[in-house]
Structure 1
């Protein structure tokens, strides 16, 4: 079985994440191909799409959000993702049990004795008037019947697990600060979420198979542990077994079996990789169990701490931030003169895009 080293896996990831070459595709198509963008920080997807697509402007994503083509909703790993309306409707039921399990496991003691189906029915009844509500307003409406759990716990259970919700615009619009107002997906999109077909969880699991294909198209080659880490779902190995005949397999240097689509791009490890600026919590890093194809072990903490990353030669080599009209890049390793020049050029382009009054770019000294 062919062994793929970290650099080969890196170039495959960059190609599929539109980070090797920016893609000339509409916003909705980019969001669909990427299987969504992590979006708990509302402004971050704008940078993620700018780094991946040609001629991207913030108004394109704003239009997709207000036009109900893409939505902000809890999905993979119980985190807020920006996904297409079609994917939200098709995938939500497959994620329901995971979402419930993650909330109830986190707050097991606080939720003792709470009937989840009864609470969900009460929440749906409150939202039946089609009026967007904050989490606090939804909790207020059911609090008399469930006075025991802390308000935050009850709210998270309703909004992030029991009722498929969309976070309404203006939340997530360009340079807009807005609190979260929730509305059921079915009301916002005018269609119920797709029910799970017969066979889900068995070897036939059709929704799981589609998820695996989509994941591999955007993240492969990958191990089943990577698929689980990205999705948060535990039942996908059955789907993988059902579709093994249509997949090709490799091994990484750790000996893990990697799955892939036969015709997916796997560029040469020698393919040049441009500098790219990633937003906080980008799935190009977080979408794997083994993240070594993109980031060194010493820097893994950065990927979950909300620090924005800079890819140099395809790997996380610096972090970046904006403050006091300055875009600052902080290297994590020594950068060559040519690398510093490339980072500076891309940083200036990003500063222009961000349109936040940034009038200076500073690359700090290399780490000691």
Structure 2
């Protein structure tokens, strides 16, 4: 059985994540290749695609959203993701157990909650018109006055297939956006039967080679080992003898392949898709990236690994990208970061008068 070095695993994952070289895929095709992008906040997937696609402009993704080819909805792990409309219809039923299990997080707030009745009432409300979740909670509270209003809203989010209605704003959605029934918005029907084997294959195509535990971390689905065993997959081992599974013929570039510097947004799926994340971030740096309040900071990659944090702001017409490196930065890498960083700033702040890339002291 072939053993893959840490560097070989890293390069294989980066290739599938479109981070070894920028791709000519369309925005919709790229979102499909990545099997969705974490989308707690609207801007982040735009930055993620900018780092992965050649000639990407925000209008490319906005057009896909307006054409209803890409949607923003609650999906993997019960969190907001940007996914293709086809993938949402395909996999929403497969992920239903994860979303239903999410109700356990309510704890004592679930007192008196009857999920099926609440979901049915929410469907009736949202079939009439798109609503914000504040409006959903207020309306449901009138029907279920003895139930916690947050529990009513959370139940709706987990059990009712909804997408977020886009708006005419820069990153596609307002902070207090309206939700609408997914089938109604997309114009298609959810697949009624689960297809977990398909989801495993798609996961490996985007994040492999990987383990069943990695798939569980990414999807939220449990007991994945049996799924992996039922598929015809290639099996490798890592340096510790752990089995890694992969799709036959999937890209596995040479371990010495060059990995250019890349900037990743907050919550990028590359940092969230594996149980053990050493393939992309060293253990000693995790605490600086993953915060106690469950944020995942914006990072940059050097030679394929997380090497520091970045923030961007614009004041008085000056757009500034501030780098916080985790270690020493060579002159060559610093020059690459400055070039790539200024290009990112021009994407984020096209109206700025000047652009600066600085390193935090």
TM-score, structure 2 as length reference:
0.93
1:363 to partner: Cα distance: 3.2
Structure 1 partner of 2:184: 187
* 2:330 maps to 1:331: no
Q: Distance in 1 between matches of 2:320 and 2:360?
A: 16
Q: Distance in 1 between matches of 2:146 and 2:242?
A: 46
- Is the contact made by 2:112 and 2:146 (CA closer than 8 Å) also made in structure 1? no
Q: Distance in 2 between matches of 1:5 and 1:141?
A: 55
Deviates more, 1:251-260 or 1:91-100: 251-260
- Is the contact made by 1:42 and 1:172 (CA closer than 8 Å) also made in structure 2? no
- Is the contact made by 2:323 and 2:360 (CA closer than 8 Å) also made in structure 1? no
Q: Distance in 2 between matches of 1:29 and 1:349?
A: 23
Q: Distance in 2 between matches of 1:136 and 1:175?
A: 20
Q: Deviations over 1:244-299 (max 9, x none)?
A: xx211111123321000120111111111100000111011111111100001122
Structure 1 partner of 2:124: 125
Q: Deviations over 1:40-77 (max 9, x none)?
A: 11101111001101111100100111110000000001
Give SS of 2:23's match.
coil
Structure 1 partner of 2:302: 312
Q: Distance in 2 between matches of 1:171 and 1:320?
A: 28
Q: Distance in 2 between matches of 1:12 and 1:60?
A: 27
Q: Distance in 2 between matches of 1:171 and 1:86?
A: 23
Give SS of 1:144's match.
helix
- Which of the residues 238, 241, 246 maps onto 1:255? 241
Structure 1 partner of 2:349: 355
Q: Distance in 2 between matches of 1:122 and 1:299?
A: 46
Structure 2 partner of 1:92: 92
Structure 1 partner of 2:312: 322
- Is the contact made by 1:42 and 1:171 (CA closer than 8 Å) also made in structure 2? no
- Is the contact made by 2:302 and 2:333 (CA closer than 8 Å) also made in structure 1? yes
Give SS of 1:93's match.
coil
**Pair 1:171–1:220, CA change in 2 (3 A):** farther
Q: Distance in 2 between matches of 1:33 and 1:261?
A: 14
Give SS of 2:110's match.
coil
Structure 2 partner of 1:38: 38
- Which of the residues 337, 340, 356 maps onto 1:346? 340
**Pair 1:151–1:171, CA change in 2 (3 A):** farther
TM-score, structure 1 as length reference:
0.91
- Is the contact made by 2:262 and 2:301 (CA closer than 8 Å) also made in structure 1? yes
Q: Distance in 2 between matches of 1:365 and 1:46?
A: 25
1:365 to partner: Cα distance: 5.5
Q: Distance in 1 between matches of 2:281 and 2:168?
A: 31
- Is the contact made by 1:76 and 1:231 (CA closer than 8 Å) also made in structure 2? yes
1:142 to partner: Cα distance: 1.7
